[in-house]
Amino acid sequence: MSEEIKKKTIVVLSDHPMSPSGVGTQTKYFIEALLKTGRYKFICFGGAIKHQSYQPMKTEEWGDDLIIHPVNGYGDQNLVREVLWVEKPDAMWIMTDPRYWAWLWEIEEEIRCHCPLVYYHVWDNYPYPKFNKKFYRSNDAIATISKVTDDIVATVTPEVTRKYIPHAVPPTIFKPLTPENRKKFREENFGDDSEKFIVFWNNRNARRKQSGSLIYWFKKFIDKVGHDKAMLVMHTDTKDKHGQDLDAIVEELGLDDGQVKFSRQKVPPHALAALYSAVDVTVNISDAEGFGLGTLESLSCGTPIIANMTGGLQEQVTDGKKFFGVGIEPASKAIIGSQEIPFIREDRINEDDLVNALEEMFNKTPKQRMKIGEQGKKHVEKNYSFEQMEKNWVEFMDEVTEKFGSWDTRKGYKAWEQLSV
């Protein structure tokens, strides 16, 4: 009778892995990649969404190997202390903007004297990354989301173990519709507007995402090409408390759902993939973006993108030789932050550059746009392979847990020594 394998326990603090956010989605992919090995199990504290219940939950597929505890925010110090001593994990894994984790890194000694702390660094920006040096050094290992982020971490803290692991999307879901199904989808969902040039925006309605600005600038575009020639489809919450009242903006500009159409309901991934595949171009003009999962999903579905050349977006829209749509160089830079919150730089495009980018894609023939989309899909397959992403996570976490150990086998970290009196 074979001996049962003792599974390694990983505690995760991140967006809820069942949430539709990019962070939540990638957290889910990370967890599933390791669960598939049969050598890991997870205790996940999922935040960043409105919870219907705070009871611990399991999934039918993974049972006791994945326990999700809904929490407000991302938890707190007492919660971390409790799970540390009760569960005695082999590692703790955290993900999202470093500004959210100052409270956690304040108790790094309490965590790291027992198990390694692994940070999936999704976003930072120049020119003040050294402000975060103390945060980077508070981790045993850092996985980086983009080449920009990887360069920052390598420059600021070259001594910290790191690995470049970009996001990926499952090609079995995010794939192009057949020409026949694409035509049918447009007719069924857009009706009389199905022959228009359709621009898609799938993002959170938040300040840095520039959702309101997009509507204003799109109006300038259709003022030039004709209000009956193009339509903007926005998949978002039109009244998110962190963004603008998008319905009010549409009303103020005198537009209707023939020019700006809202998709307000959450939809399953396969339905979202159909939307990406059916439109003519996907746009992301965020002032700052760690990666921008929506544009990768769009390219995987064979649809070109228009993107601000910031963060991970710039690595998606071009491979350095050709563009898979239009990349817009930032027109200005703004420094935001405070003494309590690390400084970051926001890269802002201007109105005219977006209008010109929309015109450029509008003036291409459907065949030309299809060819660009096909090249973009190959770019995703080569540089953002889902299979490779899963392999990278397994290799990285195997390396981290072996190299640093935990509890009785902890290595590579010297805890504070209590002074004798």
Under CATH, what is the fold of the domain 8-168+385-409? Rossmann fold (3.40.50)
Under CATH, what is the fold of the domain 179-383? Rossmann fold (3.40.50)
Tokens 């359709």 correspond to what residue?
Answer: 198
- Global pTM reads 0.90
From-to residues of CATH 3.40.50.2000 in the chain: 179-383
Per-residue pLDDT at 1? 44
Per-residue pLDDT at 311? 85
Per-residue pLDDT at 129? 62
Per-residue pLDDT at 128? 59
Q: Which long-range contacts (CB under 8 A, 24 or more apart) does 322-327 make?
A: 322/375, 323/372, 324/299, 324/372, 324/373, 324/375, 324/376, 324/379, 325/281, 325/361, 325/372, 325/376, 326/357, 326/360, 326/361
Per-residue pLDDT at 421? 45
Q: Which residues of the chain have pLDDT under 70?
A: 1-4, 47-51, 124-131, 337-343, 415-421
Q: Quick check: 366 and 179 in contact, CB under 8 A?
A: no
Separation CA 118–CA 138 (nearest Å): 9
Q: Quick check: 309 and 328 in contact, CB under 8 A?
A: yes
Instruction: Return the sign of the alpha-carbon dihedral for residues 389, 391, 392, 394.
Output: positive
Per-residue pLDDT at 278? 97
- Residues of 160-171 as b/e, b for ≥16 C-beta within 10 angstroms? bbbbbbbbbbbb
Per-residue pLDDT at 243? 85
Per-residue pLDDT at 338? 64
From-to residues of CATH 3.40.50.11930 in the chain: 8-168+385-409
